[in-house]
Amino acid sequence: MSAPVRDHHIDPHIGLSDAQVRERTEEGLTNSLPPRSGRTTLQIVKDNVFTRINALLGVLFVLVMLTGSWINGAFGLLIIANSIIGIVQELRAKNTLDSLAVVGEAHPTVRRNGSERQVAQEEVVLDDIVTVTPGEQIVVDGVVAEARYLEVDESLLTGESDPVPKHEGDQVLSGSFVASGVGSYQATKVGADSYAGKLTAEAAKFSLVHSELQAGINSILKVITWILIPVGILTVFGQIRVGENNWQAVILSVTGALVPMIPEGLVLITSTAFALGVIRLGQRKCLVNELPAIEGLARVDVVCADKTGTLTENSMEFGTLHPLGSHSEAEALEALSQLASADPAPNSSMEAIRVGVGTAKVQWEVEQTQPFTSAKKWSGVSFASEGHWILGAPDVLIPATSDAGKQAQEIASTGLRVLLLASSDVPVTAEGAPGLVEPIALVVLEQRIRPDAAETLEFFRSQGVQVKVISGDNAESVGAVTRNLGMDSGEAIDARSITEADFAQTINDSHVFGRVTPQQKRAMVAALQNNGHTVAMTGDGVNDVLALKDADLGVAMGSGTAATRSVAKIVLLNDKFATLPYVVAEGRRVLGNIERVANLFLTKTVYSSIMAILVLLFALPFPFQPIHVTITGWFTIGIPAFLLSLPPNNERAKDNFVQRVMQFGFPAGLVVALASFVTYVAVRVPDGTEQQATQASTAALLALIMASTWVLAVVARPYEWWKILLILLPLVGYGLIFTLDFTQTIFMLDSSNVEAMSFAAVAGLIGATLIEILWWVLRSVTKSEKPVWMPKQERAAAAAQRRIEREARRTEKEAEGRVHESSRA
């Protein structure tokens, strides 16, 4: 809740007093935000208990319980299992997100009692004076109280990319961010009333609304729901038509037909896989702001990476100074110290200079300041008596053919960052600035290449993911860094030289770009997307915001600006570029494995539906009791599917999820149904005894189990030792169930008819053979290269990855232990 500004006379230099803050807090005039992970614990519980699947199973369970056949109600355990597993995993994901969000969120600086302090976003109150510097986000709506060359980028709100100058009294909206300059504003709307509050409420909805995968699964479930109703009604009439007058038997037959048609584990495994993805990434200090981002990870085939803060460490160090012409080193050092002293919000380059040369002992009087922007690539200060001084990119300020330009280019070609210190003949804020500049000195800054950058680039290359380095730095410098990393990327392209006609072609063909403006970064992302690529964009600076927002997957560094973190779908809180391969691998694991298990569940739904229809058409009693389809669903589909959803999967996701699943699931389900139904018809004795009916059902079940087990066998490929066990162990279990007397009694089976069981075995083997042929045909038609056995290299890579993960967890635990011990000490 909020109210209009009540006090227009808050001194911006002093801000609110502690008493005023307490008063506003007690009145509820704080910047209260919605839950970070969207849903409350109660909502998670309700959403996992009251589902369409649970409703269908619940009705059938109640009907079976009315018959008094408790063993046939075993499928009811699925309701409990589905709900508990879904609730536990989502609560774990929620806790992970909440804890990471606290670390990753912006902490605005407020001025209270004349001093500045950082507070949590929720602690900002109405009328607070909030100070801002470049890259910081406007967290609540307000009115500018102070402005020093303040420019605000409102592109996230209006779509207009040009920064808007802000002066005292101008309105600022939350959701925008500071492009350049410094200032402060008085909060006029907080909490749900602010634009940011509305944005946060939307962004915090952790859902699968825009997920192609979830949309596909939902469409499958809707079709199944509409099929269940008429099939259920027709099964009732069918059982009555064949002379079944016992209402309990009719209910058991209907339940036996409908329960296997419900893909009860598909929704559970999907939500569990996504939740585990969030948890696993959270363990790597990776915050997933939107759940569909995990799906996007699996589809990425181009990663656009910035150089600074991604391939190199974000911090820089002052290196060397090269005076030019007749100018002395002392003159250059004095000018640099004055520029550092005059900059109220230094960027990383100026901060390195400030640390390297120090601030001025006696400061020159400042008349005008021009803050640095990525578009201009220079900053400057006009002093009252000492003239106009410029610091920026040499290739922007002076001709490349000049002596200073050549020297700068030579240094940049080694991978170092080079800035030009120069004097100007016009004020820095003049319309023609920087005007005619006189080179004074070259300032060399050193950046360390991240030790894990080379391995990360190699991972992407091995996985068929293109890496394009897009930087605002000198192209020669960027090219030198990528060459040092072993990236075979060809010639580095200066983005200023790209013509509009050749832009799209150049972006798609080349891999390293320098002197890229924020608008060009955005256009590059669009050019790649228009060429059919799924683009991930990494960044940490205010110049990356637009491109991050437009990319299919925006990835921000945790130490980056608040603006980049707010628009990114994923935030690497540990600032490690090396985390990105694990992020991509996690997305592929989730999507690839869900598609794999969807094949299993759809096959089960198809063969169950076809069996029910065939029984109706041929006016036969339904062959299976609910307990029969329960044990088959658990041991051939459910449990194996859950385990198959967990291991690594490096296949890049493709579009048309439903179409691909149907290509295998429908014909495979048809084969399983025919194997079982033909067996049932062939061995059944019309008007036979109850024992003969049980023997026919047992034989039909054996044929169904054998054929459906081979569905599991082909879906599980490529094989590893544990997947072989996953296929064989259920068969051992089935062997015991079909041969031991007491298990046959419990599960209502009779395998004593050798002739019937032999026929079933042959039918099952034929079904398995047809499914094997189907797999090879689809592999050929779709040009899939999926191997039957896991390649040796992939096994070794997977083992190495597991060792690295174990070592990383051990190191983190040791580090946490040391921190804990030191805090106790």
Among 78-82, 117-121, 218-222, 243-247, which range has the highest average pLDDT? 117-121
Count: domains in the chain: 4
Q: How far apart are CA 768 and CA 749, in angstroms?
A: 23
> Over 70: is that where the pLDDT of 37 sits?
no
pLDDT band at 765 (very low <50, low <70, confident <90, very high): very high
Token digits for 202? 């939307």
Q: What is the mean pLDDT of residues 772-790?
A: 86
Is the pLDDT confidence value at 660 over 90? no
505 pLDDT above the threshold of 80: yes
The answer as to whether 59 is a domain residue is no
- The pLDDT confidence band at residue 789, using thresholds 50, 70 and 90, is confident
Determine the pLDDT at residue 5: 45
β-strand partners of 686: none
Same domain membership, residue 566 and residue 591: no
Average pLDDT over residues 62-79: 74
Residue 488 pLDDT exceeds 80: no
Together in a domain, 129 and 229: no
Indicate if the pLDDT at residue 737 is higher than 70.
yes
Same domain flag for 264 and 156:
no
Do 297 and 406 share a domain, yes or no?
A: no
Q: What is the pLDDT of residues 392-446, one digit of tens each?
A: 999 899 998 999 999 999 998 888 889 999 999 999 999 888 999 999 999 999 8
Query: Which residue among 395, 413, 446 closes a domain?
Result: 446
Which one is predicted more confidently, 564 or 614?
614
**Does the residue 249 lie in any domain?**
yes
Q: What is the per-residue pLDDT for 78?
A: 67
| 641 within domain boundaries | yes
Query: With a threshold of 0.85, does the pTM exceed it?
Result: no
Q: Tell whether the model's pLDDT for residue 3 goes beyond 90.
A: no
pLDDT (mean) for 7-16: 79
- Rounded to whole angstroms, the Cα distance separating 770 from 764 reads 10
**CATH of residue 129:** 2.70.150.10
- pLDDT tens figures, 251-298: 776 776 677 677 767 777 777 777 777 788 888 888 877 666 777 777
Q: Confirm whether 483 is domain-assigned.
A: yes
Specify the pLDDT at position 706. 94
Give the E-state strand segments of 519-659 in sequence order: 535-539, 553-557, 570-572
pLDDT-based confidence at 632, cuts 50/70/90?
confident
Percentage of the chain lying above the pLDDT 90 cut: 26
DSSP 313-364: -S--EEEEEEE-TT--HHHHHHHHHHHHHH-SS--HHHHHHHHHH---SSPP
pLDDT (tens digit, 9 = 90+) per residue, 408-421?
Answer: 999 988 888 899 99
End-to-end CA distance of the chain: 44
Instruction: Let me know whether 610 and 515 are in one domain.
Output: no
What percent of the chain has a predicted confidence (pLDDT) above 70?
Answer: 86
Question: Higher model confidence: residue 320 or residue 255?
Answer: 320
pLDDT for residue 708: 92
- Residue spans of alpha helices (H) in 186-285: 195-203, 212-241, 247-258, 264-283
pLDDT digits (tens, 9 = 90+) for 179-221: 888 899 999 988 877 765 555 444 444 333 346 777 777 777 7
Taking residues 105-134, report their average pLDDT. Answer: 89
Please tell me the predicted confidence (pLDDT) of residue 207. Answer: 39
Per-residue pLDDT at 623: 87
Mean pLDDT of the 801-810 span? 57
Give the mean pLDDT of 461-490. 84
pLDDT of residue 143: 92
- Provide the CATH number for the domain around residue 736: 1.20.1110.10
Of residues 421 and 43, more confidence is placed in 421
Let me know: does 77 contact 630? Beta carbons within 8 Å. Answer: no
Q: Which of 61-65, 340-344, 801-805 has the largest mean confidence? A: 340-344
- Per-residue pLDDT, 746: 87
- For residues 768 and 723, state if they share a domain: yes
pLDDT mean over 629-651: 78
Residue 71 maps to a domain: no
Same domain assignment for residues 731 and 592:
yes
> pLDDT by residue (tens digit) across 506-562?
999 999 998 888 888 889 999 999 998 989 898 877 778 888 888 888 888 877 777
What value, to the nearest 5°, has the Cα angle with vertex 743 and ends 643 and 266? 25
One domain, residues 230 and 196: no
Least confident of 48-52, 122-126, 339-343: 48-52
* DSSP class of 719: B
Query: Of 404, 420, 446, which residue is a domain's last?
Result: 446
- Residue (of 258, 348, 141) closest to 605 by Cα position: 258
In terms of domains, do 327 and 406 share one?
A: yes
Residue 168 sits in which domain range? Answer: 18-30+106-203
Assign residue 307 the CATH number of its domain.
Answer: 3.40.50.1000
Mean pLDDT across the chain, nearest whole number?
A: 82
Of residues 765 and 81, more confidently modeled: 765
pLDDT the model gives residue 4: 44
| 37 assigned to some structural domain | no
Lowest mean pLDDT among 97-106, 422-431, 731-740: 97-106
Active site residue 98: no
Q: Is residue 395 within 8 Å of 420, Cβ to Cβ?
A: no
Do residue 516 and residue 542 come from a single domain? yes
Pair of tokens at residue 209: 């609304």
More confident: 677 or 102: 677
170 Cβ contact partners less than 8 Å away, ≥ 6 residues apart? 143, 144, 147
Tokens encoding 814: 């040791």
pLDDT value of position 702: 95
Residue that finishes a domain, picked among 178, 203, 228: 203
Query: Can you give the pLDDT at residue 419?
Result: 94
Q: Which helix (H) or strand (E) holds 580?
A: helix 579-617
Query: Are 740 and 609 within one domain?
Result: yes
Q: What average pLDDT does this structure show over 332-351?
A: 89
Active-site option among 127, 306, 473, 494 = 306
- DSSP strand pairing (570-572 vs 553-557): parallel
Whether residues 405 and 515 fall in one domain: no
Q: Are strands 109-112 and 129-132 parallel, antiparallel or unpaired?
A: antiparallel
User: Over 90: is that where the pLDDT of 65 sits?
Assistant: no
Name, in order, each residue with C-beta under 8 angstroms of 114's C-beta and a sequence gap of 6 or more.
13, 14, 15
619 class by beta-carbon count within 10 Å (0-12 exposed, 13-18 middle, 19+ buried): exposed
Residue 722 lies in a domain: yes
C-alpha distance from residue 64 to each of 57, 232, 359, 706, 789 (Å): 10, 14, 83, 27, 43
Task: Report, as an integer, the average pLDDT of 57-84.
Answer: 75
- pLDDT grade for 642, boundaries at 50, 70 and 90: confident
Structural domain contains residue 80: no
Confidence at 2, pLDDT banded by 50, 70, 90 = very low
More confident residue, 461 or 667: 667
pLDDT score, position 159: 58
